[in-house]
Structure 1
Amino acid sequence: MRATFRNLFDDLNVAAFVRNRHGHAVSVLRWALILVPMAATVGTLCAAFLWSLDAVTRVRFAAPWLLYLLPVGGFAVGLLYHLSGRSVEGGNNLIVEQIHEPGGGVPLRMAPLIFFGTVVTHLFGGSAGREGTAVQLGGSIASGFGRALKLDAENTQVLLMTGIAAGFGAVFGTPIAGAVFALEVLAIGRVEYRALVPCLVAALVGDWTCLAWGIHHGVYRIDAVVPVDALLVAKAGIAGVAFGLVGLAFAEANHALGGWLKRIVPYGPLRPVIGGVAVIALVYLVGTRDYLGLGTLAATPGGLTIFSFFGPDTHPWSWALKLLFTVVTLSSGFKGGEVTPLFFIGAALGNALAPMFGVPTGVFAAIGFVALFAGAANTPLACTFMGIELFGAAYAVPIAVACFVAYLCSGHTGIYLSQRVAVPKVPGGGLAPNATLRDARTDRAARRRTRP
């Protein structure tokens, strides 16, 4: 009888099943012990960062003369990076590169450098965002944890992805979008599902930690109610073309102006000085300071913010002015990120397009908010989830359509040049397998030079 049960036990392979489940449980526990403290650390730093941005923005509002010190602040940040931050100058692109091809890792000093550089940028009025800082905080801390725990290359790659998810989820309050962004941003046309659960855990812990410190995120409301029918979806798809093209223009202008400044001004600390002077000149040219900073707070009650574009008033050219201010700021070497300005540009463009399509401004502002980012960052899935997390599921279909159309229309370009093209958007593009967006830009430039 005992032999019969033993044979049955072997046939069912219960022992192997138990061993596999035990190994899986140990792996889950091990990753939890790594991810929770890492993501909590990132969430805490993001909370301190968001509090600092709010504080320095209010200081700038109270002391408008600080704008005239923008070139001085830019020189200070540029000099700091020139002396001690050359190895982290790549920013988000460095993190993406380390995930693709692990090498020297992400230096831990990236975290304090980008924190300080972004706060200085906003104190003096540069038009920049916060996503770049959050991602770099997350990548730097995750890399530090990986080195301390002596993780192998494969596990370090996963940990870096979770660092991105924790930072993104914490700084925007959108953990699902943060997790998907970390999986999707690495390569066009491919999602890294191997890190799906770790990224979701990290994004949730990062967001919860940030909230536990008393940080609150902006709440955007779509006051108008329109039926989600085939006509609205078609309009969203057509508008998605505009969002994609403007996202493409933003990325290309940023790279082109940045490259030009590096050629004519080899000494790094001088480039933000020039950019600071240009931003001051733009303020006087357009006659307003509404396009400085993040765009989430206004110095005066009637000033423009992202929230303004969800109201009934139309602002036809605000998207173009914010694009100009942001490109000048970031391409000259100021620190921060592109995403919050892209939210501003997208919401403003949606606001401007809404009357042409006969749609309430709030609806198209919400769609543009995420769709333009989807085109510029090549992350349509993450941006669709972000739209649902921020605005609810009622407009999920037009949001998704606009995000995917914008993604297709932005071409093989984007704000992150280290992204790889795993699956080309259009066949026959002539790109080498797994070419980066930087390679794609170089290839396009070479073809233009050889064109008769």
Structure 2
Amino acid sequence: MARFSRSDFTLESFRRQLANVDALPQLCVLGLVSGVITGAVMVAFRLLLEAGAVLYMPEGNPEAFEGLPPGLRSLLPLVAVSLIGVLLYRQKASAHKLGVGHVIERLSYHQGRFPLRNWLNQWWVGVVSVLGGLSAGREGPAIHLGAAASSGLGVKLRLPNNSLRVLVACGTAAGISASFNTPIAGVIFAMEVVMMEYTLMSFMPVILASTMAAMVAQVVYGNEPAFRIPEVALGSLMNLPWVVILGLIVGLLAGLFIHISRNTHLQQWPLWLRLSAVGVATGVVAWWFPQVQGIGYDSVAGVLNDQLEIKVLLALMIAKLLITALTVSGGIPIGIIGPVLVVGAATGALIGMLGGWLWPDKAADPSIFAMLGMAAMMGAVLQAPLAALMALMELTHTPSIMLPGMLAVVVACLTARQLTGCEGFFISAVRYGLHPLQQPLMQALSRVSVPAVMERSLVRTERLITVDQARRLLESNPVWLIIERSSEEKTVLALKGATLARWLLEHDEALEDKAPPEHEQVDLLEIPGQRLELAPIGLQATLSEAFLKLQDDALDALYVVHGYRPKQQRISGIITRGAIERYYYYADPKDNDSAV
């Protein structure tokens, strides 16, 4: 039976274990804790929305814009954009970044670390956007709040950066799960849209986080599906060609949405003009069609139960798509998944009605096409087919819809990508044809932190030492000698311990029983041997960070700094380019003779 010491259960030991690629149990523990934290954050956010709605919305319903007087509901978007313009855009530019795009950016370029100011801004901007009658969803705030809260846990505990990446995925999945009661879709969304990879080491913690968050939300809100729909089925397979047509139309609409959202001409307008355009356009449409405001889940429920008129469906398909895209292009950080689902449902219902008019005997119920349109639009806009299909099943609790759903989603995704030239909505920066998170080398190196492969056998020394000091340095058989310089401006160097041992052997042979010169010194920069220039890197850094630093600075090795106060930092090890390459090629740090 294995014996455990008290040191095995310390936080320092936990950090050290997380640095390795096989830290699955430790990551699962983090997933459980992340799920509980994010579930609580999401419940708080939803309660905040409900508390705000009590002030002026009919029956305290955050989506009941139809019950407001036309003047009030048209005025709300102007108030919302004014608050965002005054309170958000007076802050520095980096504080304006919110939502899913911000999460992906922090994961890609900042190792999953989130600024506190952006997180605090997300609370009130999310509430103002939804209750202010803008065409906005709550999933963007949910993902940002969940991912940042989970990452903040890791930062507080000073966990290695490879575990922060998993915590971001856990928070993302948990945010979706708790916000919409869709645990499976949350997992798939986190892996497909945010992490952009599927690995066992990430999947299991993310599943646990999503499960725990759903349980926390269900304690407060119950386990009801988001939409209640009648029992319907596709019926005749002759409807499949009509499903393909649905996919084509939805794919074109998705491409239109992305192109307007990313329109550089609109983004160059002055801020006041952009915000005014969003507020006025939303207010004008809301005067006649309040269904375009807010998330629109009440409208989706109406579409699925055939309760909306054709003119309302047309407004949801065209006006809500254009207004949502204009809002994004105008610089207002909103969640887009909710509005996208509404647009897809309305489009699908209209196509289903047209099919029923053309072929009344064989056509399926329009609500079937509405469900297919939801999944197709979400999949095409995000280029995330699996997440869209899982969301479709969990939101509707209709497994029979999956077969035509797969066809509609694939056709829509291909149409948006190939015919309109649109990548996923959140993939805005590519390098060598790939987003940084999609590059296989960076993905592999990001799963492990430097302690897993660094060489710990080293001693620190000054440049000039005596022969006796040199012998004492080698008593512990160090692999590396860290040569510290006389000033901080000079580069720290590393010399192999074997090089000094060889020089001492040759020095002793050259003396031939003669007494060594008195006060003889050894200059470690002059003895024959290769010396590596070093730059510092933090103990929490991942191998991808180390690799990029070596590439950018044209170095062969880095020294790993341990400690959080400048005057108390110590060197814990050395990581060389060769150690990183051996890890990548063999994918097992235990095979690396530098690992400890």
State the partner residue of 1:296: 297
| Residue 141 of structure 1, CA deviation | 0.8
Match of 1:260 among 250, 259, 265: 265
Q: Structure 1 counterpart of 2:390, which letter?
A: F
User: Percent of counterpart pairs with the same letter?
Assistant: 25
State the partner residue of 2:534: none
Task: Give yes or no for contact 1:250–1:323 (8 Å, CA) kept in 2.
Answer: yes
3-state secondary structure, aligned to 1:410: helix
Task: Give yes or no for contact 1:96–1:418 (8 Å, CA) kept in 2.
Answer: no
State the partner residue of 1:272: 275
Match of 1:338 among 332, 336, 339: 336
Q: Name structure 2 gaps, 5 residues minimum.
A: 1-16, 59-67, 356-362, 438-596
238-247 or 159-168, larger mean C-alpha shift: 238-247
Q: Structure 2 counterpart of 1:205, which letter?
A: M
State the partner residue of 1:87: 94
Match of 1:151 among 148, 159, 162: 159
Match of 2:186 among 146, 155, 178: 178
Post-superposition Cα deviations, 1:294-333, rounded to whole Å, max 9, x if no partner, equal: 1134xxxxxxx11111123562513112212322333323
State the partner residue of 1:380: 385
| Residue 169 of structure 1, CA deviation | 1.2
Q: Structure 1 counterpart of 2:433, which letter?
A: P
Task: Give yes or no for contact 1:57–1:293 (8 Å, CA) kept in 2.
Answer: no
The separation in 1 between residues aligned to 2:403 and 2:41, in whole angstroms, is: 35
State the partner residue of 1:349: 347
The separation in 2 between residues aligned to 1:355 and 1:273, in whole angstroms, is: 36
The separation in 2 between residues aligned to 1:217 and 1:253, in whole angstroms, is: 35
| Residue 360 of structure 1, CA deviation | 0.5
Moved over 6 A (4+): none
The separation in 2 between residues aligned to 1:42 and 1:323, in whole angstroms, is: 30
Q: Structure 2 counterpart of 1:183, which letter?
A: M
| Structure 1 residues 361 and 116, CA gap change in structure 2 (3 angstroms) | same
The separation in 2 between residues aligned to 1:144 and 1:124, in whole angstroms, is: 29
State the partner residue of 1:433: 433
Q: Which of the two has greater strand per residue? A: 2
How many residues are treated as equivalent by the alignment? 392
Task: Give yes or no for contact 2:348–2:366 (8 Å, CA) kept in 1.
Answer: yes
User: What TM-score, normalized to structure 2?
Assistant: 0.60
Q: Structure 1 counterpart of 2:303, which letter?
A: F
State the partner residue of 1:371: 376
Task: Give yes or no for contact 2:183–2:211 (8 Å, CA) kept in 1.
Answer: yes
| Residue 136 of structure 1, CA deviation | 0.6
State the partner residue of 2:416: 410
Q: Structure 1 counterpart of 2:140, which letter?
A: G
The separation in 1 between residues aligned to 2:376 and 2:112, in whole angstroms, is: 35
Q: Which of the two has greater helix per residue? A: 1
Post-superposition Cα deviations, 1:60-107, rounded to whole Å, max 9, x if no partner, equal: 444642642432332222333234463243332222123233358211
The separation in 2 between residues aligned to 1:141 and 1:37, in whole angstroms, is: 11
118-127 or 172-181, larger mean C-alpha shift: 118-127
| Residue 181 of structure 1, CA deviation | 0.6
The separation in 2 between residues aligned to 1:53 and 1:330, in whole angstroms, is: 21
Q: Structure 2 counterpart of 1:387, which letter?
A: L
Q: CA RMSD in A?
A: 2.9
| Residue 156 of structure 1, CA deviation | 1.4
State the partner residue of 1:281: 284
Q: Which has the larger radius of gyration?
A: 2
The separation in 2 between residues aligned to 1:239 and 1:36, in whole angstroms, is: 40
| Structure 1 residues 311 and 434, CA gap change in structure 2 (3 angstroms) | same
Q: Does 1:204 align with 2:211?
A: yes
Q: Structure 1 counterpart of 2:151, which letter?
A: S
3-state secondary structure, aligned to 1:290: helix
Task: Give yes or no for contact 2:244–2:408 (8 Å, CA) kept in 1.
Answer: yes
Q: Does 1:46 align with 2:26?
A: no
| Residue 54 of structure 1, CA deviation | 3.8
| Residue 186 of structure 1, CA deviation | 3.7
| Structure 1 residues 195 and 58, CA gap change in structure 2 (3 angstroms) | same
The separation in 1 between residues aligned to 2:54 and 2:346, in whole angstroms, is: 23
State the partner residue of 1:301: none
| Structure 1 residues 363 and 355, CA gap change in structure 2 (3 angstroms) | same
Match of 2:243 among 236, 239, 252: 236
| Structure 1 residues 77 and 28, CA gap change in structure 2 (3 angstroms) | same
Q: Structure 2 counterpart of 1:306, which letter?
A: V
State the partner residue of 1:10: none
Q: Structure 2 counterpart of 1:367, which letter?
A: L
3-state secondary structure, aligned to 2:293: coil
The separation in 1 between residues aligned to 2:273 and 2:153, in whole angstroms, is: 35
| Structure 1 residues 220 and 36, CA gap change in structure 2 (3 angstroms) | same
State the partner residue of 1:426: none
Task: Give yes or no for contact 2:375–2:391 (8 Å, CA) kept in 1.
Answer: yes
Q: Does 1:393 align with 2:394?
A: no
State the partner residue of 1:306: 300
Task: Give yes or no for contact 2:74–2:284 (8 Å, CA) kept in 1.
Answer: no
The separation in 2 between residues aligned to 1:142 and 1:48, in whole angstroms, is: 15
State the partner residue of 2:318: 320
| Residue 215 of structure 1, CA deviation | 6.0
| Structure 1 residues 262 and 250, CA gap change in structure 2 (3 angstroms) | closer
Task: Give yes or no for contact 1:60–1:125 (8 Å, CA) kept in 2.
Answer: no
Q: Name structure 1 gaps, 5 residues minimum.
A: 1-21, 298-304, 421-430, 438-452
The separation in 2 between residues aligned to 1:414 and 1:114, in whole angstroms, is: 23
Compare relative contact order (CA 8 Å, sep 6+) and give the higher one, 1 or 2: 1
208-217 or 335-344, larger mean C-alpha shift: 208-217
User: What TM-score, normalized to structure 1?
Assistant: 0.78
State the partner residue of 1:100: 108
| Residue 377 of structure 1, CA deviation | 0.6
The separation in 1 between residues aligned to 2:87 and 2:218, in whole angstroms, is: 31
Q: Does 1:34 align with 2:16?
A: no
| Residue 246 of structure 1, CA deviation | 1.2
